[in-house]
A and B are shown apart, each in its own frame.
Chain A
């Protein structure tokens, strides 16, 4: 049933021209997907998809369309080429599904080979109830390391493309401008001042509780970043920058990656392979717990800081564009 809703939303995305509505629909798509994922028993994934697909992704797109325009042009070229590609690809995929094990069947190959050891033995080998965390943080820790590096790369890429050097005197001028605007949002400001500490606390809870329930470094990082982003949206980018400045946040993102990698190096120095947590302590369960704790911390640091870097850079670019427009209009009036 949920899937039918997804299809409806997707088709609506195709047909609508107002980009604001389209971005909102994309957010809805993400949320519906997250709900579907919960029904599929993928709670960690649903958590992440909700935070990312319905949260961060929608937010970034809104910031961008505020800079690039709200409407799409009518000309939709190459529909025939697109239909051709889509029909061939879709047809091939459906052809491929004909031999697949039926949905939900318990004797499919994937449930009997690698996965059974994870389910049956992970308690003795790692001692963590959330199997997804034990696979992510221990068995396949290196993939997660790659994932942290991916998000780090995206942060650096956004830095490379959008960052502008800040001059302090601009900050003070635009600060007062922002304050006058934001006084209109008095209720939101007061409510968020109450909520933000709880959001931060929730982020910490998710970070450390990831072993026992859905959660972990990535989700925690996104929630932590959302609190900071909420603060900066309501109180102005400049004040937020005074609290968390650019060099500091870049440093934290680098530290996250290095922390993760150092756990691996520590394993090598203690005699095991890279990311072998068993050698980190005398008792292998303690070693596993220690390793998982540290790397999740690394993930949380990097993810939170990269999300903040990305948002600050997008918002900062927008501020620059607005300032240039104001100066341009002023010059036009003068001449």
Chain B
């Protein structure tokens, strides 16, 4: 059982490392990197599902009888595109945030926002 599922378990470890990076780190770019790691690990997970022992790539050729499953490949191709699209959007947000806040660390940004909120509330009472 261990060998049969070992592949999947390592992939789970990879996914969790990616998820950990996203939540634990305050630097916005590290978060994005964590997100991409998480997503790439999910892709590896799907593709591991598709593998058939003794099979080959799903390109039809005359002398091959056993193929690996092509459907997860299709799904993951789409998912990779979705992943890069998300990464591009996230990176452009980071560029704009750096211009607006002067920092890309979560705590510093949060601090600046809390400052504004305090000012707005005091502005009301003034």
Contact residues on A (Cβ < 8 Å of other chain), bracket: 35 or more
**Given contacts A86-B23, A153-B85, are A45 and B73 in contact (CB under 8 A)?**
yes
| Cβ contact within 8 Å between A60 and B88 | yes
Instruction: Spot the interface stretch: A90-98, A200-208, A286-294.
Output: A90-98
| Cβ contact within 8 Å between B85 and A132 | no
How long is the Cα–Cα vector from A77 to B84 in the complex, in angstroms?
27
Among B11, B20, B32, B56, the residue within 8 A (CB) of A14 is B20
| Cβ contact within 8 Å between A97 and B9 | yes
| Cβ contact within 8 Å between A3 and B26 | no
Among A41, A97, A108, A310, the residue within 8 A (CB) of B8 is A97
| Cβ contact within 8 Å between A147 and B81 | yes
List which A91-120 residues lie within 8 A (CB) of chain B: 93-94, 97-98, 100, 102-106, 108, 110-111, 114-115, 118-119
How long is the Cα–Cα vector from A76 to B99 in the complex, in angstroms?
23
How long is the Cα–Cα vector from A122 to B69 in the complex, in angstroms?
13
| Cβ contact within 8 Å between A131 and B85 | no
How long is the Cα–Cα vector from A327 to B66 in the complex, in angstroms?
65
| Cβ contact within 8 Å between A76 and B91 | no
0 or 1 for each of B21-50: is its CB under 8 Å from A? (1 = yes)? 101111101101110110010011001111
How long is the Cα–Cα vector from A145 to B60 in the complex, in angstroms?
25
Binding site of B, secondary structure by majority: helix, strand, loop or mixed? Answer: helix
**Given contacts A41-B51, A78-B24, are A143 and B88 in contact (CB under 8 A)?**
no
0 or 1 for each of B1-12: is its CB under 8 Å from A? (1 = yes)? 100111111111
Minimum distance in angstroms from B90 CB to a CB of chain A: 10
| Cβ contact within 8 Å between B26 and A68 | no
| Cβ contact within 8 Å between B71 and A135 | yes
Minimum distance in angstroms from A315 CB to a CB of chain B: 11
Q: Is A174 an interface residue (CB 8 A)?
A: no
Among A53, A83, A97, A108, the residue within 8 A (CB) of B36 is A53
Among A6, A122, A321, the residue within 8 A (CB) of B14 is A6
| Cβ contact within 8 Å between B98 and A67 | yes
| Cβ contact within 8 Å between A73 and B94 | no
Q: Is A165 an interface residue (CB 8 A)?
A: no
Q: Is A168 an interface residue (CB 8 A)?
A: no
How long is the Cα–Cα vector from A103 to B37 in the complex, in angstroms?
22
**Given contacts A29-B40, A106-B53, are A19 and B14 in contact (CB under 8 A)?**
no
Q: Is A284 an interface residue (CB 8 A)?
A: no
| Cβ contact within 8 Å between A98 and B60 | no
| Cβ contact within 8 Å between A97 and B69 | no
Among B51, B54, B60, the residue within 8 A (CB) of A103 is B51
Question: Among A78, A102, A214, which residue has the most Cβ atoms of chain B within 10 A?
Answer: A102
Binding site of A, secondary structure by majority: helix, strand, loop or mixed? Answer: helix
| Cβ contact within 8 Å between B33 and A23 | yes
Among A7, A41, A317, the residue within 8 A (CB) of B57 is A41
Minimum distance in angstroms from B67 CB to a CB of chain A: 5
How long is the Cα–Cα vector from A86 to B18 in the complex, in angstroms?
9
Point out the residues of chain A lying under 8 angstroms from B78, CB to CB: 143-144, 146-147
| Cβ contact within 8 Å between A82 and B71 | no
**Given contacts A68-B95, A86-B19, A321-B99, are A42 and B29 in contact (CB under 8 A)?**
no
0 or 1 for each of B49-83: is its CB under 8 Å from A? (1 = yes)? 11111111111110000111111111111101111
| Cβ contact within 8 Å between A158 and B88 | yes
Point out the residues of chain A lying under 8 angstroms from B20, CB to CB: 14, 82-83, 86
Q: Is A22 an interface residue (CB 8 A)?
A: yes
Point out the residues of chain A lying under 8 angstroms from B70, CB to CB: 115, 118-119, 131-132, 135
How long is the Cα–Cα vector from A41 to B51 in the complex, in angstroms?
7
Q: Is B116 an interface residue (CB 8 A)?
A: no
How long is the Cα–Cα vector from A22 to B37 in the complex, in angstroms?
12
Point out the residues of chain A lying under 8 angstroms from B24, CB to CB: 76-79, 81-83
Minimum distance in angstroms from A236 CB to a CB of chain B: 20
**Given contacts A86-B20, A144-B78, are A103 and B91 in contact (CB under 8 A)?**
no
| Closest Cβ neighbor of B76 among chain A residues | A45
Q: Is A232 an interface residue (CB 8 A)?
A: no
For the complex of A and B, the 5 pairs showing the least CB-CB separation, nearest first, are: A102-B4, A154-B85, A82-B24, A82-B23, A104-B53
A-B contact pairs, 8 of them (CB 8 A): A23-B33, A33-B43, A41-B67, A57-B84, A57-B87, A72-B105, A82-B23, A132-B59
